Amino acid sequence: MIRYIAIILLLASSLWAKKEYFILPVQLQGVHEDYAEKITSLVREYAAIDGFAIVSKKEDCDYLLQIKLLREEFGVAVIFEKRKKNDKVVWSYGHIAYTPNDFIPIVSHVSHEIK
């Protein structure tokens, strides 16, 4: 009986395991690399709050996270793509940021969606 419970718990453990993301190099277009660092560090902060992990090795992750910062006429398009390890995009979200302060609600929303 105990053996069966242990097997069930082991199989079910994947249901509450933390999702692990590897952040790919941020793609920049007309944006300084300082903003890549800024948004990446925000993602790490929100990962700690919302309960998912950022790993340092691609092979250890469940998903890849691609961030793009693309200069528009007014502001920067901030695009997040959640990808499987084979690079297939499973979810994406884009929002305009007019100043760097706009990164915060965008990252907060994305973090809530991908946790």
Site residues, other proteins (CB under 8 A): 30-32, 34-35, 38, 69, 71, 73-77, 79, 92-96, 98-101, 103-104
CB of 112 to other proteins, least distance (A): 14
Those residues with Cβ within 8 angstroms of residue 100's Cβ, 6 or more apart along the chain or in another chain: 35, 38
CB of 3 to other proteins, least distance (A): 46
CB nearer other proteins, residue 33 or residue 60: 33
Segments of 17-102 assigned E as strands: 20-23, 27-29, 53-54, 63-71, 76-83, 89-97
CB nearer other proteins, residue 7 or residue 98: 98
Residues 23 and 107 sit within 8 Å (Cβ to Cβ)? no
CB of 21 to other proteins, least distance (A): 21
Q: Take residue 75 and report the two structure tokens written for it.
A: 């502001």
